[in-house]
């Protein structure tokens, strides 16, 4: 892989034995517990515009779930006398020394990994996020009469779905219509190995069909093919135009269709295969014949299919399986992308092996793929307890699979394949990736925290001699330039020296 990637994960939050909680308040307090010093909001929101659509226009409004609209009213009431303070206080942004961002997003604590160029760096930083946010929960629990519980999942079983978004920097020159035509069908069928599994079929109105086991937690919640929205009437292809890089050269593919994965292997396969498909799209090597009929219905029928035949109709009218559809992408990647680097070769090998195992017998993947591991867990429980599949007990088992407390979460009791070491995860909790601009962000915060005025994904503003000096990192998508900036930072004893080395003063 030679592409900047990142993962944003919203976590489910509750308090042990609490009948009702204020999730916004608990998310805010959880994030503030990352550090015990006073909270100083330094994240710069000026570069964020969720209304800007990459199809060339700016949306007038975004669709929200009715419950979210009610939550926004409550948020305004919290700081009725301090409207300027309310937004930043509710967000409670923390910029971490490993280059990541931790904040409250729509009543969920969210961890955004730093930008990574190595697939295995990204997996380590995703797992590091679990550790960091669990440490926050432990600290917050000490302040309460109840324990904070966190879940790396995507549904509350009451009609609310929260996201795990995978992000990829890619060439702006690719026409959007071609990007959509190529990536949309891939997203629809990717779930056969990237899904986290779920008991029940759900709609925005709540749990509609208990007891029905499906591949993904998110597929029930997609209603349109492409849109700028992320929270209601969700699209399979999101069109938000926030590249956080040079907008003339790059766009950010903001993927909102995926599940949050507990499995390291599933995360790596999900991100890695998507990155290779983007390589093919940029090279214009994917034929439009890979398009599928009725993608909105198909993403649900594949997830719900109990036979695991996963049939769909392609643009030519042929009926094929999702496995064979994925093999079309795989064959193109093998032909054009093989022998580039270790990451790519790992992805191609594991992609092929996984598709073969899914076709032969999905239960061979209990140690690698989340939906398969969870299914085995539920089947074992149903048999041992002699209960039916619509028993509410199974919903609790489903949820506890995603509990990120390693002493309690059911995932941690399974023999799942690991692809990064414990040492790599611990290092990622404190150290940003060495080969991207995330190093510049995290290390600047670590070295010069008192001099930092504001931070964004693509810029840092220092206060030097009472004046703001901004380091624009838009061009640091170039790894050679990122290396130059990172080396200058390492050699600078203070911000003044740094900006002089970078030619900014």
Angle of CA points 350, 352, 354, to nearest 5°:
65
How far apart are alpha carbons 359 and 323 in whole angstroms? 7
Last residue of a domain, one of 426, 445, 471: 426
Kindly give the residue spans of alpha helices, DSSP state H, lying in 231-321: 264-282, 295-304
pLDDT in the model for residue 437:
97
Do 328 and 472 lie in one domain? The reply is no
Last residue of a domain, one of 405, 426, 447: 426
pLDDT in the model for residue 466:
93
* Domain tally, the chain: 2
User: If 0-12 CB within 10 Å is exposed, 13-18 middle and 19+ buried, where does residue 384 land?
Assistant: exposed
Q: Is 318 within 8 Å of 272 (Cβ atoms)? A: no
Which helix (H) or strand (E) segment holds residue 209: the answer is strand 206-214
Do 417 and 330 lie in one domain? The reply is yes
Do 313 and 258 lie in one domain? The reply is yes
Provide the b/e sequence for 403-430 (b: ≥16 CB within 10 Å): bbbeeebbbeebebeebbeeebbebbbe
Tokens read off for 194: 């990237």
Q: Long-range contact list for 397-402, CB < 8 A, 24+ apart?
A: 397/199, 398/197, 398/198, 398/199, 398/374, 399/151, 399/153, 401/153, 401/197, 401/262, 401/370, 401/373, 401/374, 401/377, 402/12, 402/151, 402/152, 402/153, 402/196, 402/260, 402/262
Do 420 and 450 lie in one domain? The reply is no
Distance set, CA 453 to CA 209, 295, 482 (Å): 51, 46, 21
Do 414 and 450 lie in one domain? The reply is no
Which among 239, 229, 203 is positioned nearest to 218, based on CA atoms?
A: 203
Helix axes 119-143, 264-282, angle to 10 degrees: 130
Do 170 and 208 lie in one domain? The reply is yes
pLDDT in the model for residue 71:
61
pLDDT in the model for residue 37:
67
- Neighbouring-strand partners of residue 227: 238
Provide the b/e sequence for 101-125 (b: ≥16 CB within 10 Å): bbbbbbbbbbbbbbbbbbbbbbbbb
pLDDT in the model for residue 84:
57
Do 34 and 169 lie in one domain? The reply is yes
Helix axes 176-194, 322-337, angle to 10 degrees: 120
Do 367 and 319 lie in one domain? The reply is yes
Which among 346, 350, 299 is positioned nearest to 325, based on CA atoms?
A: 299
pLDDT in the model for residue 378:
97
Ranges in the chain, pLDDT < 70: 1, 36-41, 64-87
pLDDT in the model for residue 20:
87
Strand order in the sheet with 164-171: 94-95, 101-104, 109-112, 5-10, 164-171, 250-255
Phi-psi region of 343 (alpha: psi -120 to 50; beta: other; left: phi over 0): alpha
Write the CB contacts of 451 (distance below 8 Å, at least 6 apart in sequence): 462, 463, 464, 494, 495
Do 346 and 467 lie in one domain? The reply is no
The residues annotated as belonging to the active site are 105
pLDDT in the model for residue 59:
82
Which helix (H) or strand (E) segment holds residue 32: the answer is helix 23-32
How far apart are alpha carbons 388 and 394 in whole angstroms? 9
Last residue of a domain, one of 368, 401, 426: 426
User: Half-sphere exposure of 26 toward its Cβ, with a 13 Å CA cutoff?
Assistant: 23
Do 145 and 289 lie in one domain? The reply is yes
Do 25 and 116 lie in one domain? The reply is yes
CA 476 vs. chain centroid, Å, equals 22
The CATH number assigned to the domain holding 416 equals 3.30.590
**Residue given tokens 């002089």 in the structure block:** 500
Q: Can you give the residue range of the structural domain that contains 461?
A: 434-501
Provide the b/e sequence for 1-33 (b: ≥16 CB within 10 Å): bebbbbbbbbbbbbbeeeeeeebbebbbbbbbb
Torsion angle, CA of 216/422/26/402, rounded to 10 degrees? 30
Do 405 and 474 lie in one domain? The reply is no
Write the CB contacts of 267 (distance below 8 Å, at least 6 apart in sequence): 7, 122, 123, 126, 261
């Amino acid at each position: 892989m030679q592409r900047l990637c990142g993962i944003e994960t919203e976590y489910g939050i509750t308090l042990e034995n609490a009948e009702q909680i204020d999730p916004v308040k608990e998310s805010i307090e959880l994030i503030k517990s990352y550090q015990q010093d006073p909270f100083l909001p330094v994240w710069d929101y000026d570069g964020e515009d969720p209304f800007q659509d990459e199809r060339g226009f700016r949306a007038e409004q975004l669709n929200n779930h009715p419950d979210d609209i009610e939550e926004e009213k409550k948020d305004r009431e919290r700081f009725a006398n301090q409207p300027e303070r309310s937004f930043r206080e509710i967000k409670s942004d923390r910029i971490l020394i490993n280059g990541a961002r931790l904040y409250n997003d729509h009543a969920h604590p969210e961890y955004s990994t730093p930008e990574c160029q190595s697939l295995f760096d990204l997996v380590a930083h995703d797992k590091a996020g679990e550790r960091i946010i669990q440490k926050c929960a432990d600290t917050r629990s000490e302040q309460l009469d109840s324990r904070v519980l966190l879940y790396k999942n995507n549904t509350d079983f009451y009609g609310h779905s929260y996201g795990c978004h995978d992000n990829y920097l890619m060439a702006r020159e690719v026409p959007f219509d071609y990007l959509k035509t190529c990536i949309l069908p891939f997203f629809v069928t990717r779930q056969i190995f990237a899904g986290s599994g779920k008991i029940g079929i759900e709609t925005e109105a709540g749990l509609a069909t208990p007891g029905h086991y499906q591949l993904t937690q998110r597929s029930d919640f997609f209603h349109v093919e492409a849109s700028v929205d992320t929270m209601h009437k969700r699209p399979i292809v999101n069109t938000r135009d926030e590249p956080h890089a040079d907008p003339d050269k790059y766009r950010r593919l903001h993927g909102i269709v995926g599940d949050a994965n507990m499995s390291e292997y599933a995360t790596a396969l999900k991100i890695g295969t998507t990155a290779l498909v983007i390589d093919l799209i940029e090279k214009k090597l994917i034929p439009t014949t890979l398009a599928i009929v009725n993608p909105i219905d198909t993403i649900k029928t594949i997830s719900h299919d109990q036979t695991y035949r996963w049939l769909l109709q392609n643009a030519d009218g042929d009926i094929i399986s999702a496995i064979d559809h994925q093999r079309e992408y795989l064959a193109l990647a093998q032909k054009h992308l093989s022998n580039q680097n270790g990451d790519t070769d790992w992805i191609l090998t594991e992609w092929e092996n996984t598709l073969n195992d899914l076709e032969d017998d999905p239960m061979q993947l209990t140690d690698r793929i989340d939906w398969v591991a969870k299914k085995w867990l539920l089947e074992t429980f149903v048999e041992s307890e002699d209960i039916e599949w619509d028993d509410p007990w199974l919903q609790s088992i489903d949820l506890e699979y995603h509990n990120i407390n390693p002493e309690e979460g059911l995932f941690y009791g399974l023999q799942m394949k690991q692809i990064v070491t414990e040492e790599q995860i611990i290092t990622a909790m404190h150290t940003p990736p060495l080969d991207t601009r995330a190093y510049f962000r995290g290390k600047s915060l670590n070295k010069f925290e008192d001099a930092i005025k504001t931070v964004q994904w693509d810029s840092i503003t220092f206060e030097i001699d009472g004046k703001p000096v901004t380091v624009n990192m838009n061009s640091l998508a170039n790894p050679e330039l990122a290396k130059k900036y990172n080396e200058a930072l390492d050699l600078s004893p203070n911000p003044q020296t740094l900006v002089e080395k970078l030619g900014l003063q």
